[in-house]
Amino acid sequence: MAILETQELTYTYSVGTPFEKTAVDHVSLKIEEGEMVGVMGHTGSGKSTLIQHFNGLLRPTSGKVLLDGKDIWEEKEKIRDVRFKVGLVFQYPEYQIFEETVYKDIAFGPKNMGLDDAEIKRRVYETAHDIGLSEELLERSPFELSGGQKRRVAIAGVMAMEPRVLILDEPTAGLDPAGRDKILSHIKSYHERTKNTILIVSHSMEDIAAFADKILVMSKAKLFCYDETVKVFARADEIAQIGLDVPQITKVFGELRRRGLDFGKEVYTVGYARDLLLKQLKERGASRC
Amino acid sequence: MLRDITIGQYFPGDSIIHRLDPRFKIVITLLYIIMLFSGSSYICLAVGAVFTFGAILLSHIPLKMFFKSVKPLIIFLVITAFLNLFLMSTGDVLWEWKFLKITDKGLETSIFMVVRIVLLVMGSSLLTYTTSPITLTDAIERLLSPLKKIKFPVHELAMMMSIALRFIPTLIEETDKIMSAQKARGAEIDTGSFTKRAKNLISILVPLFISAFRRADELATAMECRCYHGGEGRTRLRQLKSAPRDYIALAVTIFFLALVIVLDRIF
């Protein structure tokens, strides 16, 4: 059974005013447990609105959101429990930090869950380790940290609730390449360790190609497609039409094919391209000898 | 929840009301308020209502928005109505219970007061609905400019106002975002006990203040980068120019005001 499912999900902002706008339009999709999903879409395509439905921050205008096959709005009082099961990290999450120490800020979520101190401590230390924050940072004020470190504190704050689904809205926006790689690799190892479902919204096709099993593409409030990474990037022309892009390396290999050098495979990551090229060179080298 | 706030909200448009010179609009609004308060009979109020609804019709803004602007004042209106209803002791008694009594005069006054306040709010909302905050402060600056002679910092005041107005929606949006982020971490903000909610307010206020200070700092830097040095010798992108229609609108308003005053004398 799918862990998260939406049925004809529709959301309209400011109903009944001149600013009325449908941000999510009849979206139906199923996300399986343990998947790593990349969410793509133009600015204003409705992806941020969509993900805020997954943990019940927004209530659908019509349609349903199912968690483990159960409508999350069936029991309105229990919507908080949904938020512990589906953790959402907003864009620029460092702006939500408010506690005096890093430890306290990460502990805010688990504390709200009503866990005991020992369990909170275990979770804070574990997630701090997962996200690459050293233990001596835990007693520092979060406001003294660097931008990348603050970002990781905020992500840890949600991870510490050990949600079964972790959603991150552009976790690398505004960071330098080193900070970006660090966060992505930590998220990846977290995924490998916990096998939890992860959704990452990103504008970087390179990032998505590097980690996502599946890609969800939103365009003009509608679900454009939701499929395996390979299949989505194979539709490069359509993707380009809705104003998005495939990874640069894919473009390079597409161009190579157009000029008569076909590798017979789709290429999405630089690492894979390197292996493919090396293999090809080896074979050619061997045939020449 | 926070999105429902409509005070100071501007609805872009191109109606005759939108195009009026904001300086005239402010003066007209002031005259309008005098108009509502200088009549004390129903007929005067009716004239005021005709004026209000005529202007609303001309603005092409849905009537619904004006009722929405009255919504936050409902409690205030109810209190006004009750006070007038029960405290007025002159006139014929319609209903009596212990120390409470309702007279026909009291009933009349309470209806009159409520209608007057509703008209007042709707009419003044028209000003902010049809005038962008920036042009509004421009107009205020121009209208107050005579005060510069007595060393009153008119420009600084107008700049403070426009910055404040400019950042209201930004701060509302920011608050909304921070609230959502803390709710995602299980903070109880619109549910739960009062003490819990009050405690959780800290998790919203601290980030909000930090971001407000950060924004203020950035704004100050940006202004300095563009060599802002106060109002002295500063020219404007939008020059306020009055057109014949502004004088016509003013004349119509003065006519209505005169009508109310005359009618008030007669009845």
Note the ipTM here.
0.85
Question: Nearest 5 degrees, angle CA A265-CA A268-CA A273?
Answer: 70
How many Å is the maximal CA-CA distance in chain B? 71
Phi, psi (5° rounding) for residue A275? -60, -45
Are B181 and A16 in contact (CB < 8 Å)?
Answer: no
Residues of chain B with pLDDT under 70: 1-8
Does residue B152 fall inside a structural domain?
no
Q: Does residue B109 lie within any of the structural domains?
A: yes
- Going from the first residue of chain A to its last (289 residues), give the mean pLDDT of each consecutive group of 10, the final group possibly shorter: 90 79 91 92 89 92 91 87 92 90 94 92 93 91 90 94 93 88 90 92 86 90 89 83 84 85 78 85 69
Residue of B nearest to A167 (CA): B184
Per the structure, the count of domains in chain B is: 1
- Distance, CA of A17 to CA of A232 (rounded, Å): 37
Contact A95 B3 (CB under 8 A): no
CA–CA separation, B137 and B161 (whole Å): 7
Report yes or no on B230 lying in a domain: no
Q: Could you tell me if A39 and A201 are in contact, meaning their C-beta atoms sit under 8 angstroms apart?
A: yes
Q: Which amino acid is at B73?
A: L
B49 lies in which domain range? 2-131+241-266
Which of B60, B179, B185, B204 to probe the A interface (max A CBs under 10 A)? B185
Is residue B124 assigned to a domain? yes
Q: Identify the pLDDT of residue A287.
A: 59
Q: Which residues contact A148 (CB under 8 A, 6 or more apart)?
A: A175, A176, A178, A179, A182, A183
A94/chain B closest Cα distance in angstroms: 9
CA distance A210 to chain B (A): 27
Q: What are phi and psi of A113, to 5 degrees?
A: -75, -15
In whole angstroms, give the CA distance from residue B18 to residue B132: 9
CA atoms within 13 A on the CB side of A176: 5
Q: Is residue B247 part of a domain?
A: yes
**Which of 263-282 (A) contact B at CB < 8 A?**
none
pLDDT of residue B1: 43
Residues 6+ apart with CB under 8 A from A87: A55, A109, A158, A159, A161, A163, A165, A166, A167, B184
Q: Do B184 and A57 touch (CB under 8 A)?
A: yes
Answer whether B191 sits within 8 Å of A108, measured CB to CB: no
Partner residue opposite B206 with nearest CB, options A55, A87, A98: A98
Q: Which of A16, A96, A161 is nearest residue B181 as measured by Cβ atoms? A: A96
Q: Does residue B34 fall inside a structural domain? A: yes
Q: Which of A96, A104, A111, A159 to mutate to test the interface with B (most CBs of B within 10 A)?
A: A96
**Per-residue pLDDT at B42:** 86
Determine the CATH number of domain A4-246: 3.40.50.300
d(CA A96, CA A57): 16
**In 3D, which of A12, A40, A13 has the Cα closest to residue A25?**
A12
At B14-49, the pLDDT tens digits run 888 999 999 999 999 999 999 999 888 888 899 999
Q: How many CB pairs under 8 A join A and B?
A: 60
- Within a domain: B119: yes
Structural domain boundaries of chain A? 4-246, 247-289
Residue B217 lies in a domain: no
- The answer to whether B185 contacts A55, with C-beta atoms less than 8 Å apart, is no
Check B207 against A55: CB less than 8 A apart. no
